Amino acid sequence: MTSLPAVPLTLEGSSVLHQMMRFRWTAWKTLTPPQQDAALLEASAALGGMQGAAQQTAIYSLIGHKGDLMFLHFRKTFEELNQAEIALSRLRIAEFLEPTTSYLSMVELGLYESTLKLYGSLAERGIEPHSAEWKQEIESQLARQRQAMAQRLWPAIPDHKYICFYPMDRRRGESVNWYQVPMAERQRMMHEHGMVGRRYADDVRQIITGSIGFDDWEWGVDLFAADPLVFKKLIYEMRFDEVSAAYALFGTFYVGVRVADLGAWLKA
């Protein structure tokens, strides 16, 4: 029997795009009120059509210098994300939106515990890793998991007032390297890490997206809450668990307030 794979199984769902924008206020103010109203009417109609079950877009007013607005898109496929991006760029108001950065990923559920059990069971039965029978057993397990976790794989964008988004990596340095740690140890640390998050489940909604091969970091994290203070408390407590303290690298943090009415935001 060859060595068991080191890669944990994952389930993938919604395709996700974050678009951070700076608003060109000076140029916007050169428009006459009727011109502004026409641009807003067009934008409101287009964005209003992006609120169904199959396609979702939410807008957030960013706090700080990293941008003015963040557009968050959840779609079924990358093609639909691209269509949403193009549709937004064709609006009159897009002339006043200057991209500062973006992030592409898809909802991901890691299955460390299930993977260890399944790999162990297949090994006990003498099924060779990566063989046709192995792949069939894996896909059968994943199919059951996809059905059981459909709501988590295809979530609605939470309607909480505040959002905190940040990308992250697992450390691959000279002294510690996440990708050289045995899977059982990674599973133990991830379990302990997850238990911290569960204690905040009533106050914050967390959506993890995978971005390996899609963007510059390995995962994206979206936190949604009614009170932004919970972001600080949750992330700070998580810094003390082993997986974060030893192996986590964090990118830029973006915090914003949900925009229910773009016109009201522009006139505030």
How deeply is 193 buried, as exposed, middle or buried, from its count of CB atoms within 10 A (0-12, 13-18, 19+)? middle
Catalytic residue among 119, 166, 200, 247: 166
Distance, in Å, from the CA atom of 135 to the CA atom of 139, rounded to the nearest integer, reads 6
> 149: which residues sit within 8 A by CB, 6+ positions away?
11, 109
Q: At what angle do helices 229-238 and 183-198 cross, to 10 degrees?
A: 150
Backbone conformation region of residue 10, classed left if phi is above 0, alpha if psi is from -120 to 50, else beta: beta
Q: Is 162 among the residues known to form the active site?
A: no
- Cβ-contact 193, 248 below 8 angstroms: no
Catalytic positions, written as ranges: 166
